Amino acid sequence: MRAPRTKRRLRFLSLSLALAGTCMAPTLAQETPDLSGRIPSTQKTPTQLAADVKKAATAAVNLAIVDLTQELTAHQKDSKSPLREKSNYFLEKKSPGVNHEEILAAMNRSSLGAGVAADTYIKWQLLSGIQGKVEDKLVSKLLSAYASAPLLYMRPGLEHASRRQLDAQIRNAAQNDAAKLSETLQKEVDAVAHENAPILVYREDLYAHLPGSGDAILAGLEDGAARAANGIDADRHMKGVMAQITTWSVSGTPPQIHAISGLLKSMIAKMSGAKANAGPTDHSPIYADVVGAPIYLAKGPPAAKPAPPKPAFPPSYYTVLEWDPKAKHLVWKEGAARFPDVKALTAMCQQLDDTAAVLAQMKSK
């Protein structure tokens, strides 16, 4: 009787184990990881890393703009709070996150400050984050910033409206009024020069960061011409650009060299041509008399020898009053911005044309 009972116990135990295995199977399946799928990674993709770098650089540049704006505000409230005399913001305030690309992106914005002076100051200081020449891939952005640099203010006594105003002041002036009126003009000239000073420094620094290339030289020449056109001496700037032309030309291509030579020739044409005769003006009473005078016959007095024509470029401007003892009235003495003469520009053009010819010949062999 014991044997059957023992068999029944074994069958019951086997059934219990089978039921237990069936119940535990889903739980084990849920707890077992699916090794066939990909395990998520915590590492960032190159795109994500690049976005993080850009975000950090943008934040660093924006912080610099805020700091520089505060410097300007403090200076406006109290002139004893000095502004920076050198472009050194990022040299003094190290910012590991900043990069050249974001600096140039900010410098190409239309305005970073309230007014030309603030915009120039902030962009000039941002430029301190770029040491030496800019990378080739960013040259176009720096050229864009150079081209969009704040415009220069024109020297008083150069444009027609300014001349008419100055001429009106001397119509009834006496000889002893010359010093006072000349001093008034000089104060206006000094005020404009003060406004132009930071713009010129910013432009010089922009050009200094450009690597030698045909596009950079063209931009430098155009900058020099713009200075002279506004009555600002450009001889020193042009000397530096022309020195760079000499060293760069041997590595340039004939089309690039011809482009620079063509720009120089256009300057020569302006400097060699005379101003258009616009007829009598308020500031040339003697000229008005000559224009209205009759033509003498052979037996009459000889015609006065005409004065040599004035070059159209650089344009002339009023400088100081002088007393004309013959005409018995005050006249404005004129001057012009310093600029390389026609002889120097012609020699440079000849050198460029010769170099282009040699390079073209070498390429054809």
Q: What percent of the chain has pLDDT over 90?
A: 66
Measure the CA–CA gap between 167 and 269, rounded to whole angstroms: 30
Provide the CA 252 distance to its chain's centre, in angstroms: 23
Residue 44: band (very low, low, confident or very high) from pLDDT cuts 50, 70, 90:
confident
Return phi, psi of residue 151, to 5°.
Answer: -70, 150
**Is pLDDT of 244 > 80?**
yes
pTM metric for this prediction: 0.77
Is 257 or 277 the better-scoring residue by pLDDT? 257
How far apart are alpha carbons 180 and 166 in whole angstroms?
A: 13
In tens, the pLDDT along 310-342 reads 778 999 999 999 999 998 999 999 999 999 999
The two three-digit tokens of residue 152, written as one number = 């220069």
Q: What is the pLDDT at residue 229?
A: 97
**pLDDT on residue 311:** 75
User: Is the model's pLDDT at 280 over the cut of 60?
Assistant: no
pLDDT tens sequence across 137-192? 999 999 999 999 999 999 999 999 999 999 999 998 999 999 999 999 999 999 99
Tell me the Cα Rg of the chain.
38
